[in-house]
Amino acid sequence: MPTPSHGELSRFSGIPQAFEETARRFSGRVALTGDGGRGRAYTYQEVLELVRALGASLNLREFRKETEIGVLSENRPEWPIAYFGILAAGKTVVPIDANLKPNEIEYIIEHAGLKVIFCSGRFEGMLAGFNRKLKLLSFEQTSRHSWHRLLDQTANMQIEPPSSTAVLIYTSGTTGTPKAVELTHQNLLSNVESIQLSLHFDEDDIFLSVLPLHHTFEATCGFLVPLLTGASIVYARSLKSREILEDISYSHATVMCGVPLLWEKFNDSIVRKIREAPMGRRMMFQVLYSLSSVGWRFGRKWGRRFFRPLREKGGLDSIRIMVSGSAPLAQRIARFFNLIGFDFLEGYGLTEAAPVLSANRPEDIRFGSVGPPLVGVDIRIADPDETGIGEITARGGNVTPGYRGNAEYTAKLVREGWLHTGDLGCIRDGHLYITGRARNLIVSAAGKNIYPEELEEKLTASPFVLETLVFGRKRENRQGEEVRALIVPDIERFHERFSVDVDNPDMSRVESVIEEEVGKVNKEIATYKRIAGFEIQLSELEKTSTKKVKRFVYN
């Protein structure tokens, strides 16, 4: 049942004002819990009181001149409390990726001009070592920098009028130096409202927060949406699959947002257990899976009933919605989870859109699609080719005003009110389909467009390929580019199948099998798309903290 605030967030002047109303309506409900549901629990009323105290204290003389305040911590309940407190003081939040290297963190501090940072204990020493006059506000009660000294202030607890800019977000840097994206209160409230009106969340939901909170996908979908809906958030203990499953079981979580790599690991774990089961159970799974697939074609979700025992045994029976975002997802993953009984929804967005632009709906899921545009968001394809593929552009209240201090890039990003995403795609029957990034596009000698993401999906469908990066390489003294692939083999699978030594693998065997797998892919695709050569790398591809491959490292 939708809460009364659904569709009404745009009337608030800022996020703290919207949260204040939600907290009044659900004052006794648990809002935040740490340690997978085992840690300290905060009710909505307790969070509101802490937010008001922080907001008032951050306007005392010591902090009055500061317009931006950083947050650097692993996921925990204090993170969103600090976020709301900074906004309640009328200031701007600068979320910092906890997985960045010290020099990268120092860059953000310098670029944003930060003088005050909320942090967890593990970052106090590093921040103090930057030899800057940083004021640290530690989440640890025993620290000499503890934020509890602010909470003890007897200042007037009044939420301030908001700054125009709610957050300053540094992009994760998949293509080089990060840019500072400005998102206003109205950008974020507009996006939360669009999500509320498009999907089915309510105050009875329990969100398990797994992804890092500095990332806009988790900050909006896994933090702002639940806390402006009256739902509860439980912070997972780690990214380890076993602990996540234990946390789901313990907390009875109903909603979980994740990136493709996480869902792939879950998928692989379930498939591995099925493969290890006795032959009778394996055959039964295949029969039921085939029946579920038939039912799906007629709009019937039979997998919910067929695979209830499997979900219960895996500790996933409480989960009703899984959301995938932040990077492209293989169709087979979405298909698998939906056919075994979950509402697995793939969506699409980017930080500059606060971030969600489109998402599949539980009642209208199409594999390979990232769904229709959200309510209140317009999407169009700019300069489509003969197949309908062109650059994805969008407009709506969620679109950023631009990059701080970078008028040149802002002018390229937003033109005549339309956000130019740099992603390529098409719209079919109202659903958006992503084909790749414009900057990743490979152009053949005949001028044909080749989308690396399509080939990457086909390669990773092989049980022997862990991950891959497809790219174009200029051909010497010839026009166009040839298609190349950097492939990371799944050495564990080679060990299982060919008894290859995990620590010192027989590379001739590995190369021979990978060559066969590349050959299989080449037989399935048009001649101009074929992979001309490949290289093998045993270490995993370098990624951002949200598990996107840093493509620029390999160009």
Compute φ and ψ for 365, nearest 5 degrees: -100, 130
To which H or E segment does residue 323 belong? strand 321-324
What is the bridge-based pairing of β-strands 431-437 and 68-72?
A: unpaired
Listing DSSP states for 483-540 in one string gives EEEEEEE-HHHHHHHH---SSS--HHHHHHHHHHHHHHHHHHS-GGG-EEEEEE-SSP
Q: Do domains 9-258 and 260-438 have the same CATH topology?
A: yes
Per CATH, domain 441-554 is 3.30.540.10: no
Query: Cβ–Cβ contacts within 10 Å for residue 244, how many?
Result: 24
Spatial separation of the C-alpha atoms in residues 68 and 20, rounded to whole Å? 22
Does residue 347 contact residue 324 with C-beta atoms inside 8 Å? Answer: yes
Q: Looking at residue 152, what is its pLDDT?
A: 64
Q: Looking at residue 3, what is its pLDDT?
A: 46
Find, among 484, 537, 533, the residue nearest to 507 by Cα. 537
| Helix, coil or strand: residue 333 | helix
Give Cα separations from 112 to 88, 102, 257, 515 (angstroms): 20, 15, 29, 48
Interaxial angle between packed helices 491-498 and 507-524, expressed in degrees from 0 to 180 and rounded to the nearest 10? 100
Spatial separation of the C-alpha atoms in residues 124 and 122, rounded to whole Å? 6
Which residues have a Cβ under 8 Å from the Cβ of 367 and sit 6 or more positions away? 331, 334, 335, 338
Q: Looking at residue 450, what is its pLDDT?
A: 87
Interaxial angle between packed helices 44-57 and 15-25, expressed in degrees from 0 to 180 and rounded to the nearest 10? 150
Domain limits, the chain: 9-258, 260-438, 441-554
Which residues have a Cβ under 8 Å from the Cβ of 58 and sit 6 or more positions away? 66, 69, 85, 86, 88, 89, 91, 150
Superfamily of domain 260-438: ANL, N-terminal domain (3.40.50.12780)
Does residue 323 contact residue 262 with C-beta atoms inside 8 Å? Answer: no
Does residue 480 contact residue 450 with C-beta atoms inside 8 Å? Answer: no
Q: Looking at residue 7, what is its pLDDT?
A: 57
Q: Looking at residue 540, what is its pLDDT?
A: 92
Does residue 233 contact residue 209 with C-beta atoms inside 8 Å? Answer: yes
Q: Looking at residue 416, what is its pLDDT?
A: 94
Please state which CATH class domain 9-258 belongs to. Answer: alpha beta
Tokens 């899984």 -> residue: 322
Find, among 325, 356, 350, 341, the residue nearest to 263 by Cα. 325
What is the bridge-based pairing of β-strands 116-119 and 68-72?
A: parallel
Spatial separation of the C-alpha atoms in residues 426 and 385, rounded to whole Å? 10
**Across the chain, how many H-helices and E-strands are there?**
19, 25
Does residue 63 contact residue 117 with C-beta atoms inside 8 Å? Answer: no
Query: Cβ–Cβ contacts within 10 Å for residue 542, how many?
Result: 12
Find, among 318, 329, 403, 396, the residue nearest to 357 by Cα. 396
Does residue 207 contact residue 222 with C-beta atoms inside 8 Å? Answer: yes
Q: Which two tokens stand for residue 258?
A: 């994740």
Compute φ and ψ for 347, nearest 5 degrees: -130, 180
Spatial separation of the C-alpha atoms in residues 370 and 325, rounded to whole Å? 9
Q: Which two tokens stand for residue 211?
A: 């992804």
Spatial separation of the C-alpha atoms in residues 257 and 323, rounded to whole Å? 5
* Sequential pLDDT tens for the chain (555 residues): 444 345 588 889 999 999 999 999 999 999 999 999 999 999 999 999 999 999 999 988 889 899 999 999 999 999 999 999 999 999 999 999 998 889 889 999 999 999 999 999 999 999 998 867 899 999 999 999 999 888 765 555 666 667 789 999 998 654 456 789 999 999 999 999 999 999 989 999 999 999 999 999 999 999 999 999 999 999 999 988 889 999 999 999 999 999 888 898 889 889 888 988 999 999 999 999 999 999 999 999 999 999 999 999 888 999 999 999 988 888 999 999 999 999 999 999 999 999 999 999 999 999 999 999 999 999 999 999 999 999 999 999 999 999 999 999 999 999 999 999 999 999 999 999 999 888 888 887 666 778 888 899 899 999 999 999 999 888 766 667 889 999 999 999 999 999 999 999 999 999 999 999 999 999 998 888 999 999 999 999 988 766 778 877 776
